């Protein structure tokens, strides 16, 4: 019984050898396209999360009137730039107590101290709740 024949595998037959110059010469366009897609695709798709909206700045015409909703949105990478804004309701608190700082509220300062007309000291805690209006403003028509 004879052993395995490795002469075909390790032999000097050059037809099975990998030639990098030949490979890159034949597939130059494919390799360049894959590299270009690697850099372009992340800028082609933006993800607008829950409670967010995006506005588009176009380098040719300026700010676009459309507002991008939640989800996967497509933009033109070189021409358009998306800016994402949070449109959830947020609370701004002016208070001395740290326990009111839950639920994502932002503490902006201390409570407001003032005097009444008869000279008594009053401390007022203020909470301002705000929610941005994300609907685009349409300019009034100039029909006269």
Instruction: Quick: pLDDT tens for 5-62.
Output: 555 555 555 556 667 777 777 788 888 888 888 777 777 888 999 989 999 999 999 9
Find how far residue 103's CA is from the centre of its chain.
23
Q: Whole-model pTM?
A: 0.52
Question: In the sheet that 90-94 helps form, which strands lie side by side, from edge to edge?
Answer: 106-109, 90-94, 126-130
Beta strands in 9-105 (DSSP E): 45-48, 52-58, 62-68, 71-74, 80-86, 90-94
Q: Check: CB of residue 49 under 8 Å from CB of residue 24.
A: no
The pLDDT confidence band at residue 71, using thresholds 50, 70 and 90, is very high
Mean residue pLDDT across the chain: 77
Write out the H or E segment, with its range, that includes residue 115: strand 112-115
Q: Where are the domains of the chain?
A: 19-87, 89-134
The pLDDT confidence band at residue 87, using thresholds 50, 70 and 90, is confident
């Amino acid at each position: 019984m004879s052993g395995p024949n490795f002469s075909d595998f390790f032999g000097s037959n050059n037809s099975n050898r990998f030639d990098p110059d030949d490979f890159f010469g034949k597939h130059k366009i494919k390799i360049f396209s894959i590299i270009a897609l690697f850099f372009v695709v992340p800028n082609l798709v933006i993800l607008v999360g829950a409670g967010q909206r995006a506005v588009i700045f176009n380098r040719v015409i300026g700010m676009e009137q459309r507002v991008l909703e939640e989800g996967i949105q497509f933009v033109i990478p070189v021409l358009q730039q998306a800016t994402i804004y949070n449109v959830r309701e947020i609370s701004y608190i002016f208070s001395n107590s740290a326990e009111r700082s839950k639920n994502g509220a932002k503490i902006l300062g201390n409570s407001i101290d003032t005097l009444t007309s008869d000279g008594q000291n009053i401390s007022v805690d203020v909470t301002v709740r705000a929610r941005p209006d994300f609907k685009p403003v349409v300019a009034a028509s100039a029909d006269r």
